[in-house]
Amino acid sequence: MIFKRKLYEKMLRWKKERNGKSALLIKGARRVGKSTLVEEFAKKEYDSYILIDFSEASTEIDELFGNIRDLDYFFFRLQNLFHVTLYERRSVIIFDEVQLQPLARQAIKHLVKDGRYDYIETGSLLTLKKNVENIVIPSEEHSLVLYPMDFEEFRWALGDNISGDSMRQIFIMKQAIGDSLHRKWMRDLRLYMVIGGMPQAVDTYITTNNLEQVDEKKREILSLYNDDFRKIDPSGNASRIFMDIPAQLSGNANRYMVSSAISGRANGTIETVVADMADSMVVTMAYHANDPNVGMGLSRDFNRYKMFLCDTGLFVTLAFWDKDYTENTIYNKLLSDKLSANLGYVYENLVAQMLRTAGNELYYYTFPDGSNHNYEIDFLLSKGDKIVPIEVKSSGYKTHKSLDLFCEKFSSRVGEKILLYTKDYQKDGEVLCLPAYFAWLM
């Protein structure tokens, strides 16, 4: 199925505003729908297009990029190989999985300068960075990121074109919506948590209405990611770090403990592996802000971080990777609204995904409570000249001691104080208690 994606509007702006003066590079994790989106865009917005998928391109096509000094011959050969007529300023050439042919990416500089056609590339950030030795990186690229489907896109896929706009209005007004609508939106959110935003998983749910088959599809995607991590790190450490994400979050530690995941000591090599994992966009990183203030990147601690999965649907499956679908208690507990407190890390991963997809860099903060434990602010956002601390709870309880103490400690820096939980909107003192389904609007 072809799903409506928000990035389409940004692609339209690129086409109109750049008018051939730059190529468009769509980055993102594998299986988030980059190729499908780009081809759909080409079909609708151009008179013709050529799609070169470098994961299956012939030797004849690859050899074309070895020498592109004669662009007339280059375009003549492309049209004949693909049996497509190109029209000046009305056609687009797509380089799908461009990281597999670095010379094609290098050619962008000359192709854009020529100006006859538009160019769109797709690729994953990790392999785009690695496969650039001995080539000139084109500056004539405009980059956009495609994430898994967000909550509103998920609702669109299920035929609900109303809830998103309604949520926006209520989020702005900051008011309770009543039990009936709140329960519906929480049910919708829990379904999103179970299925996730990977287009293939959503498509499987729509066509089969069978969560076991959805789980099988998610396992295929997770296996693909795991294989990718073994390729970038043959030692297996990246794979072990990836597979241990649910256990790390459930342990409620104030950072990802690499040593426990790989049964060894973190070193410079591991730091490179973790950086590569972040570049893959399969995982989402939240870094500790040592000095929580506007411009938190200046105090970001690369040695203290939490690691989330890019998609909570995948996270739910990974949490029960060694068990059969029927034994995955998170499915039943989520759908019946009986998620216990010790499974609250599912909500934390959900919020991380929603905040990141909305364009936020993720930070968190911990500080001692005077004993052997720490208080923790789950997420910190910047808004204007203030910071917005966010505490996440998987229940309806509105206790927020960590949030209160943090706001007291940094009172001059704090703007809104937000608790995300499972009940309807209310205000508790200066704390805004918001339903978790509003996180994608922050």
Number of C-alpha atoms within 13 angstroms, CB side, residue 309?
Answer: 30
Cα(364)–Cα(296) distance, integer angstroms: 10
> Is 2 within the bounds of a domain?
no
Here the CATH number for the domain that contains residue 67 is: 3.40.50.300
Give CA 164 to chain center in angstroms: 19
Residue percentage of the chain with pLDDT more than 70: 95
248 and 388 co-located in one domain: yes
Q: What would the two tokens of residue 292 be?
A: 């929580």
pLDDT at 259: 82
Rounded to whole angstroms, what are the CA distances from 76 to 79, 219, 247, 348, 379? 5, 43, 55, 53, 53
Last residue of a domain, one of 145, 180, 202: 145
The mean per-residue pLDDT over the stretch 153-169 comes to 97
User: Over 60: is that where the pLDDT of 39 sits?
Assistant: yes
pLDDT band at 371 (very low <50, low <70, confident <90, very high): confident
Residues 347 and 201 both lie in one domain:
yes
Q: Are 156 and 112 contained in the same domain?
A: no
Question: Kind and range of the H or E element at 441?
Answer: none
Domain identity same for 305 and 227: yes
- 247 and 131 part of one domain: no
Q: Which of 297, 421, 418, 303 is nearest to 362 (CA)?
A: 297
> Where residue 129 falls among pLDDT bands split at 50, 70, 90?
low
For the entire predicted model, the pTM comes to 0.93
Give dist(CA 22, CA 17) in Å, integer.
10
Task: Find the domain containing 165 and state its range.
Answer: 151-441
> Is residue 206 located within the same domain as residue 127?
no
Q: Is residue 1 part of a domain?
A: no
Report pLDDT for 197.
98
Residue 217: name the closest of 335, 317, 350 by CA.
317
For residues 54 and 74, membership in a common domain is answered with: yes
The Cα 239–Cα 220 span in angstroms is 15
Q: Is residue 76 part of a domain?
A: yes
Average per-residue pLDDT for the chain: 92
Instruction: Provide mean pLDDT across the span 329-342.
Output: 77
Q: How far apart are CA 193 and CA 431, in angstroms?
A: 25
∠ CA 149-28-388, nearest 5°, is 65
Phi, psi (degrees; rounded to nearest 5) at 315:
-60, -45
Claim to verify: residue 133 and residue 184 sit in the same structural domain: no
Nearest by Cα to 141 from 17, 18, 5, 10: 18
Say whether both 123 and 191 belong to one domain. no
Split at pLDDT 50, 70, 90, the class of 325 is confident
pLDDT-wise least confident of 24-38, 182-196, 349-363, 393-407: 393-407
- Across 95-104, average pLDDT: 91
Model confidence at 399: pLDDT above 70: yes
**Among residues 145, 177, 202, which one ends one of the domains?**
145
In this prediction, residue 344 carries a pLDDT of 83
pLDDT score of 271 more than 70:
yes
Q: Rounded to whole angstroms, how far apart are CA atoms 107 and 43?
A: 24
Taking each helix axis from N to C terminus, what angle separates 199-208 and 211-232, rounded to the nearest 10 degrees? 160
Total domains in the fold of the chain: 2
The confidence band for 260, taking pLDDT boundaries of 50, 70 and 90, is confident
pLDDT for 131: 60
User: Residue 398 has what pLDDT?
Assistant: 77
| Overall average pLDDT of the 16-34 stretch | 95
Residue 442's nearest CA partner among 400, 388, 378, 399 is 388
Q: Based on the fold, state whether residues 366 and 228 are members of the same structural domain.
A: yes
- Assess whether 140 and 192 both reside in one domain: no
**What is residue 177's DSSP assignment?**
-
Among 120, 145, 170, which residue terminates a domain? 145
Same domain, 303 and 196: yes
For residue 232, tell me if it sits in a domain: yes
pLDDT given for residue 125 in this prediction: 62
From residue 278, give the alpha-carbon distance in Å to each of 69, 231, 306: 37, 15, 11
Would the pLDDT of 372 be above 80?
Answer: no
Per-residue pLDDT at 335: 84
